[in-house]
């Protein structure tokens, strides 16, 4: 699920292959976005007017949240799309997939810019996130690693290792100085975003760390 930037609306995904847009104040379902041919795994607002969704049908779809109109279908993944993220400057979309790659797309045009696979993950990509300045992407994978990429060039920058099981969630801190990762090993780890140095491990969860946000 995801809130719109103005907190007025909520987008929810489901096994029903649709996305629903809700008015937070009234509880009214404003739109049902139908078009995916598989389970919808992830949804994000690009801005107050657009929503992106990733699905088991191996596509990312972009929608007009105000009218419910389908805008673009982004095709190219060879496996389920598990995670989608938008850049804070609203210019790019990143998608992570079971095909072990991250793809970068134009948010306005739907154009494919880069497939991040050189020195890439060796298993499913579970989570993707942009840095606050939109210059970098962080990805987390079933290969237990976290990888950092340059958004503009698609260039691989470095790998962070330390988890002992699937990395299910990743995020940048608001000041871009840190990266946090949650894992199936029941820990949350904090890393230096410039050097990749491990700063702290947060232990205490008794279940898998599915979602982390800063």
Q: For residues 35 and 136, state if they share a domain.
A: no
**Residue 109 and residue 37 share a domain:** no
Is 112 found in the same domain as 199?
A: yes
Asked if 57 and 95 sit in the same domain, the reply is no
If one counts the domains in the chain, the total is 2
Same domain, 122 and 168: yes
Angle, CA of 40, 1 and 126, to the nearest 5°:
60
Q: Give me the pLDDT at residue 207, please.
A: 58
Q: pLDDT tens for the chain, 214 residues: list them.
A: 999 999 999 999 988 999 999 999 999 999 999 999 999 999 999 998 999 999 999 999 999 999 999 999 999 999 999 999 999 999 999 999 999 999 999 999 999 999 999 899 999 999 999 999 999 999 999 999 999 999 999 999 999 999 999 999 999 999 999 999 999 999 999 999 999 999 999 987 665 544 544 4
Same domain for 164 and 58: no
Q: Are residues 188 and 94 in the same domain?
A: yes
Token duo for residue 187: 């820990």
Distances (CA, A) of 182 to 91, 113, 136, 142: 27, 28, 19, 12
SS3 at position 49: coil
Query: Final residue of a domain: which of 75, 108, 128?
Result: 75
Residue 48's pLDDT is 87
Whether residue 104 sits in one domain with residue 19: no
Considering the domain architecture, whether residues 197 and 104 belong to the same structural domain is answered as: yes
The verdict on 164 and 133 lying in the same domain is yes
- What is the per-residue pLDDT for 205? 66
Q: Copy the structure tokens of residue 17.
A: 């292959």
CA 59 vs. chain centroid, Å, equals 14
Domain around 186: 82-213
Q: What is the distance between the alpha carbons of residues 88 and 108, in angstroms, rounded to a whole number?
A: 14
Pick from 166, 120, 122: nearest CA to 144: 166
State residue 206's pLDDT score: 63
CATH number of the domain to which 62 belongs:
2.40.10.480
Domain stop point among 60, 75, 90: 75
| Residue 203 confidence (pLDDT) | 86
Q: In terms of domains, do 66 and 112 share one? A: no
Map tokens 């096994």 to a residue: 15
Q: 16, 44, 75 — which closes off a domain?
A: 75
CATH of the domain at 101: 2.130.10.10
- Assess whether 10 and 68 both reside in one domain: yes
């Amino acid at each position: 699920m995801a809130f719109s930037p103005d907190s007025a609306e909520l987008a929810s995904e489901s096994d029903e292959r649709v996305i629903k847009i809700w008015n937070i104040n009234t509880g009214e379902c404003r739109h049902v976005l139908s078009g995916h041919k598989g389970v919808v795994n992830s949804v994000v607002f690009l801005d107050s007017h657009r929503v992106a969704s990733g699905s088991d049908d191996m596509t990312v779809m972009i929608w007009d949240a105000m009218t419910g109109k389908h805008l673009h279908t982004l095709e190219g993944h060879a496996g389920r799309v598990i995670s989608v993220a938008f850049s804070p400057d609203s210019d790019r979309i990143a998608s992570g997939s079971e095909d072990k790659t991250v793809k970068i797309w134009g948010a306005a045009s739907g154009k494919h810019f880069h497939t991040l696979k050189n020195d890439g993950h060796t298993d499913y990509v579970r989570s993707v996130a942009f840095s606050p300045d939109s210059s970098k992407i962080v990805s987390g994978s079933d290969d237990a690693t976290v990888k950092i990429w340059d958004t503009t060039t698609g260039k691989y920058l470095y790998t962070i290792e330390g988890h002992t099981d699937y990395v299910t969630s990743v995020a940048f801190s608001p000041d871009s100085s840190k990266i946090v990762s949650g894992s199936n090993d029941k820990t949350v780890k904090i890393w230096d975003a410039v050097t990749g140095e491990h700063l702290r491990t947060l232990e205490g969860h008794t279940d898998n760390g599915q979602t982390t946000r800063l």
